[in-house]
Structure 1
Amino acid sequence: MAIIARARAMRKALTPPEARLWVQLKLLRTQGFHFRRQAPFRGYYLDFVCFDRRLVIEVDGVTHTVEARANRDKMRNAVLAGEGFTTLRFDNAAVRDDLDGVMGGIMGALEAPPTRSLRDHPPHEGEGDKPK
């Protein structure tokens, strides 16, 4: 339950660039792309994820340029790639200054052929099989 509570708190505390991108990602629902924000997955909290297209979008602040943090990001990307996800990373300045370019990159990834079955993703909390 702590995981869900933390994810909810993180959703309420989006950074300005994350909030700006979230507005645009929600608009993609009309095109059939459903994103979740601050979704817990394999021990990580994904900024934005479209499970159907196996696409993770991360909005990175300046702390991600520090070597130790960059190494953790590489490990995280490798874990997610092992699960069939593509991770796109955009820095705060790109979201602030070139939102059209960021959205163009996201649309390109969304329109690419999927790497796994579109049904091969975890259910939302409370969905799926109940434990036996």
Structure 2
Amino acid sequence: MPRPEVALARKLRRTMTLLEVMLWQHLRGSPDGMRFRRQHPIGCYVADFFCAKARLIVEVDGAIHGVEARPIRDTARDRYLNENGYRVMRIGAADILRDAEAVAASIVSLAAAPLHHSPAASGPPPRAGEE
């Protein structure tokens, strides 16, 4: 018996929304070497899309994300994910409807950008007084 979030992720993969399908068509196949997973469990949550290499989570926000207690839950979820080393990118439904290809390109671009810049080949800068 799989963990509850794994079972939920499998169910969500079978019942993706139109917006998620539109975006998935552009993210599948590892664009620019960035491999994305759809409906991926992370902790007690299920991310709409996830790039492990970049530790990037992409959430598709439809109209439901602006009603009742949903914004508070989304904020708590984002905080948990950020505290555990993930970047969260929220994409509005209207943006995907307007131009899914451009949205996917911006996601891949963010995934390809490193979180931290590598130090110069010569190593870190000298400490004060060691120049």
TM-score (norm 2): 0.79
- Bigger helix share: 1
1:62 maps to what in 2?
Answer: 63
Root mean square deviation of aligned Cα = 1.5
| Shift >4 Å, 4+ stretches | none
Q: Is residue 54–residue 114 contact of structure 1 (8 Å, CA) maintained in 2?
A: no
Report the Cα distance in structure 2 between the residues aligned to 1:38 and 1:6, rounded to whole angstroms.
9
Paired residue type of 1:101: A
- How far apart are 1:101 and its partner, in Å? 3.3
1:118 maps to what in 2?
Answer: none
Residues 70-117 of structure 1, C-alpha deviation per residue, up to 9 Å, x if partnerless?
A: 1111111111111111111112111111223312321331121135xx
Matched, 1:91 2:92: yes
Report the Cα distance in structure 1 between the residues aligned to 2:82 and 2:67, rounded to whole angstroms.
22
Report the Cα distance in structure 2 between the residues aligned to 1:85 and 1:65, rounded to whole angstroms.
23
How is 1:34-73 mapped onto 2 (pairs within 5 angstroms)?
Answer: 34-73=35-74
Report the Cα distance in structure 2 between the residues aligned to 1:110 and 1:41, rounded to whole angstroms.
17
Report the Cα distance in structure 2 between the residues aligned to 1:87 and 1:39, rounded to whole angstroms.
13
How is 1:1-132 mapped onto 2 (pairs within 5 angstroms)?
Answer: 1=2, 2-27=4-29, 29-115=30-116
Flag structure 2 segments of 5+ consecutive residues without an equivalent: 117-131
Q: Is residue 38–residue 48 contact of structure 1 (8 Å, CA) maintained in 2?
A: yes
The alignment of Structure 1 onto Structure 2 pairs a total of residues equal to 114
TM-score (norm 1): 0.79
- How far apart are 1:30 and its partner, in Å? 4.8
Residues 20-64 of structure 1, C-alpha deviation per residue, up to 9 Å, x if partnerless?
A: 10111114x152211111111110010000011010001111010
Flag structure 1 segments of 5+ consecutive residues without an equivalent: 116-132
Report the Cα distance in structure 2 between the residues aligned to 1:100 and 1:10, rounded to whole angstroms.
22
Q: Is residue 95–residue 102 contact of structure 1 (8 Å, CA) maintained in 2?
A: yes
- Match of 2:28, SS state, is helix
